[in-house]
Amino acid sequence: MSTDWLRGAVIYQIYPRSFCDSNGDGIGDLKGAIEKLDHIAKLGCDAVWLSPFFRSPMKDYGYDVSDYRDVDPLFGALADADALIARAHALGLKVIIDQVWSHSSDQHPWFAESRASRENPRHDWYVWADAKPDGSPPNNWQAMFGGCAWSWDSRRRQYFLHNFLPEQPDLNVRNPAVQDALLDIARFWLERGVDGFRLDVVNFFIQDALLRDNPPLALKRPAARPHQFQRHLYDRTQPETLGFVARLRALLDQYGAMAVGEIEDEEPLKVQRDYTDGPNRLHTAYSFFLLRTRAMLPAVIKDAMAQWEGAKGWPSWSLSNHDVVRFPTRLADNDPQRTKLMMALLLALRGTAFLYQGDELGLPHAEVPFERLRDPEAIAFWPSGIGRDGARTPMPWLQAAPVAGFTQASDAWLPLDPRHRAMAVDAQEGVAGSMLEFTRAMIALRRSSQALREGHFVALDAAGPLLAFERVADGERMLCLFNLSPDPASLDVSEGVARFAIGDAALAGGRVQLGGYSALFVAR
């Protein structure tokens, strides 16, 4: 058993609620996901990552888990999870599942016991603290979803920590007994055949033992959210977390399984490196460095790659997921040509690439009216904020079908954006120049090239908005040229054969001509 497959892999994220509904209740489920695994295999992906499908009150739509060992009835049953793993493996796809271990639901039996008293066996399984003498919270930490990160509990007459919703109390992962329980959960799913885990906000697992105040962050203007006023020195990214990561890695190695960590930090690339730096760390990690980028400039990519030079670990990159504005809107102004350019750039980078469902169709970020919002973060920060529901609307499969073939119901849990209907899978299937066929071709190029899969990244000098780099592996060099502006550009090259062009790009007489928002891959 080996995790070598991870290097250069393309992993497809399924958000189960919105992928495919098999029973007509307007909510996607595991049987629906099974039906569509062929689509992912045909794309050329190596693995699927499934967002949470565990039992949950759904206050944060599955990221508030009340039973880590069972499937929520909305999504099916344990037998459906087993069937999905088996079907994916039959198609040559690895299966990665979310594990949400920084916090649980307040409906989890562990929390019910922990809050009952200060003496019970699980009294310290969550982060509890006394009030200050004046009754105020223990420190100044702020929750990601707004407001104080502490809530009062009248049973224990103490505050409990929640980095997100009050219904998502933070587990005390500093406690060895909690670590043992989490490793038992990992073992449960590894025994069922999963190939790895995506660890939600992995650097939030442990907080400062002294619960010190976070210092203020120097701001040129007021931040959009209270937690953005602080430097998060004490409520995340504590060194003790790496001790638990080492324990998890030892378990994963027994099964030949992998883990990818989600990093949310002020120094995202540094923390990515720290969490993947050696055989007792995570196999890979991704951050929001590219997920929140608003303009793709050559300096952005070169800076990201430079910070990984000499690293022992392996990076991962994504342009979209269930928490951010979809990349065609954020990075390409919903322009089809620029969308293809961004997809090609993602798949040219050194590291593992994550695609979010609908990326292969070029879906723009959906418009969801206030009265249809479901995401607590979107509601709390409306009308500004990320608007995560816009990334979670139904996947369009059939252009002419009700709700674009996502469900047999008359409506879905979130509304279908009318623009997405014309971009359905069947509308793009086999259509030359479509985003779907382009994505397949680009993944095929990556799979066919050792340099693109796992070669070194070598930045090259180029003028203005032209991004130039080589991917270099034993016996192979791939020159990657991206014109990130609407204006034509050119570059002299000493040798090479054009392998793949995006837009108006060509190589002739040792000179590359690049039209606006075009790219060219040159084998050398």
Positions marked active-site? 200, 264
Amino acid at 129: A
Task: Give the span between the Cα atoms of 284 and 268, in whole angstroms.
Answer: 13
DSSP code of 216?
Answer: B
Dihedral through CA 275, CA 280, CA 284, CA 286, nearest 10? Answer: -20
Helix (H) or strand (E) holding 511, with range, is strand 511-514
Alpha-carbon distance of 348 to 478, in angstroms, equals 10
Instruction: Report the Cα–Cα distance between both ends of the chain, in Å, rounded.
Output: 34
Secondary structure element (H or E) that encloses residue 40, with its range: helix 37-43
Cβ–Cβ < 8 Å for 360, 351: no
Alpha-carbon gap, residue 83 to 422, rounded angstroms: 32
* SS3 call for 478: strand
What H or E segment, with its residue span, contains residue 42? helix 37-43
**Dist. CA 382–CA 225, nearest whole Å:** 12
Q: How many CB atoms lie within 10 A of CB 446?
A: 24
The one-letter amino acid code at 231 reads: R
Instruction: Give residues with Cβ within 8 angstroms of 180, minimum separation 6.
Output: none
d(CA 56, CA 33): 19
Rounded distance, CA 171 to CA 163, Å? Answer: 10
> What gap in Å lies between CA 387 and CA 304, rounded to an integer?
26
- What are the tokens at 506? 């060509």
- Label residue 487 exposed, middle or buried (CB < 10 Å: 0-12, 13-18, 19+): exposed
| Three-state secondary structure readout of 68-125 | EEEECCCCCCHHHHHHHHHHHHHCCCEEEEEECCCECCCCCHHHHHHCCCCCCCCCCC
Tell me how far apart the alpha carbons of residues 516 and 487 are, in angstroms, rounded to a whole number.
Answer: 5
Determine the Cα–Cα distance for residues 79 and 333; give it in Å rounded to an integer. Answer: 42
Structure tokens at 357: 């469902």
